[in-house]
Amino acid sequence: MKIKVGIIGATGYAGAELVRILAAHPNAELAALITQSYGGKAFCEVYPHLYKHVLMDCRELDIPSLVQEVDVVFAALPHGHAVPVAREIMKYGKKFIDLGADFRFNSKDTYEQWYKVEHADPDLLAQSVYGLPELYREKIKQASLVGNPGCYPTSVILGLAPLLVHGLIDTKSVIADSKSGVSGAGRGLSLGSHFCEVNENFRAYNVAAHRHTPEIEQELSKLAGEEMIISFTTHLLPINRGILSTVYAGLKQDINLDQVRSIYEEFYRGEFFVRLLPPGLLPQTKAVAGSNHCDVVPVVDRRTGRVVVISAIDNLIKGAAGQAVQNMNIMFGLPETTGLDKPGLYP
C-alpha cells in the first residue's frame, strides 16, 4: 500500500524537490500537484528534468476534492497562508506537513512579532510538532501536524545540540554565521536573485534581523534548559544548493577535541542522516548536495577557549523537502530513510 500525497506549492523549488523525491519513493504515490501559477500545465514542462518521470499535470487548489485523494498534504506556501489550508485539511483527518513557518513556534507571540502577521489559529499551532526528527522523533510519530524546520535552523540546531545537552557552552556566547545558496530564496523573481547580481558576488543580508533567529533560539533554549539569545547572520552564496553554518561558542570548561568528538559520536549514534566526519575532514556544501545528510564537525580552539562547529546541509533536502519526507516516513511508521538513502552528486 502506498501513501497518497498531495503537494501544495509544487512548482516552487522546495515543492519540486518534494515531487522528485516522492516520485521515486517506494511507499508513496503522488496524487495531486497543486500550484497557483501553472494550473493545467504538465508538471514536466515546468521542470523538464522530470520529463518521463512525472506525468501529472499541475492543478489549482480545491480542498474538498483534494482530501478525497490523499493521506497527507505537504505545503510550501508563504507564511500566513498555510494556517487556513491546514485547518481545512485536518478536519478531514488528513495529516499535514508544513514547510513554511506557520507551525514551527511554541509561542504565537514570537511568530507574530517576527513575521508581522497574526496567527489565525493558535489552537492548531499548539497541536503541531517541530519536525526535527533527530530531536523529536517520538512526538513526530504521534503527530498529525508537523511544522518542518527552517533550513538555517536545521543546520545550526543539529550543529549545537550535543554541546547544549551536555551543558558545555556558555549560552550567552553563541554566534551563528550562516551562508546559503540561492535556491533558499525560492523561484520567485527579485533583483536579489538575478543571476548577474549574485554570480561572482557575496553579501550578508538581514543582519541582526533574520526571521530564523527566534526559531533557532526556541530550539536551542529547549536543549539548554534556559532562555538563549544568539547572534545570527545570513549570507548569500553564489551557488544553487547548500547551507554552511559556522557556529562559535565559549566553552565553560577545559575540554579537548577528542572528548568533544566523543560526545558528538554518542549523540548522533544511529542517526543515518547526521554525519560526524572523520578527523581531518571538514563539512562542505558539495558533499551533502543532493542528499538528506547534515555533516557536522566541531573544532576546539584552546587559544580562545571557544568551540567552532561547522555544519552543512542541502537547504532544499535536509533543509526542506528531504526532512519533510523524513517526517512523513516517521508519521506513517516507515523506516526513516525510505526514499532518502542515496548520497548526493559530486562534483
Of residues 6 through 35, those in contact with its own copies by CB under 8 A are 13, 16, 20, 23-24
Given 105, 248, 264, 267, the residue binding its own copies (CB under 8 A): 248
DSSP structural state of residue 259:
H
Residue 237 binds to its own copies (criterion: CB under 8 A)? yes
List active site positions.
151
DSSP SS3 for 59: strand
| Interface with its own copies in residues 104-133 (CB under 8 A) | none
Given 25, 179, 210, 318, the residue binding its own copies (CB under 8 A): 179
Q: Which three cell numbers stand for residue 330?
A: 516517521
Q: Which is nearer to its own copies, 285 or 323 (CB)?
A: 285
Asked whether 134 and 155 are in contact (CB, 8 A), the reply is no
DSSP SS3 for 168: coil
Given 212, 241, 261, 318, the residue binding its own copies (CB under 8 A): 241
Asked whether 327 and 97 are in contact (CB, 8 A), the reply is yes
Q: Which is nearer to its own copies, 149 or 298 (CB)?
A: 298
Q: Rounded CA gap, 89 and 42, in Å?
A: 25
Q: Rounded CA gap, 228 and 219, in Å?
A: 9
Q: In what order do the strands lie in the sheet with 3-8?
A: 58-59, 28-34, 3-8, 72-75, 95-98, 145-147, 129-130
| Interface with its own copies in residues 48-87 (CB under 8 A) | 48-53
| Interface with its own copies in residues 138-177 (CB under 8 A) | 175, 177
User: In angstroms, what is the minimal distance from the CB of 157 to its own copies?
Assistant: 18
Residue 321 binds to its own copies (criterion: CB under 8 A)? no
User: In angstroms, what is the minimal distance from the CB of 85 to its own copies?
Assistant: 26
Q: Which three cell numbers stand for residue 243?
A: 547551507
Residue 238 binds to its own copies (criterion: CB under 8 A)? yes
Q: Rounded CA gap, 44 and 32, in Å?
A: 14
**300-266-274 Cα angle (round to 5):** 80
Asked whether 179 and 244 are in contact (CB, 8 A), the reply is yes
Asked whether 30 and 55 are in contact (CB, 8 A), the reply is no
| Interface with its own copies in residues 180-209 (CB under 8 A) | 182-183, 187, 189-191, 193-205, 207-208
User: In angstroms, what is the minimal distance from the CB of 96 to its own copies?
Assistant: 26
User: In angstroms, what is the minimal distance from the CB of 129 to its own copies?
Assistant: 27
| Interface with its own copies in residues 280-319 (CB under 8 A) | 280-291, 293, 295, 299-301, 303-304, 306, 308, 310, 312
Q: Which is nearer to its own copies, 125 or 294 (CB)?
A: 294
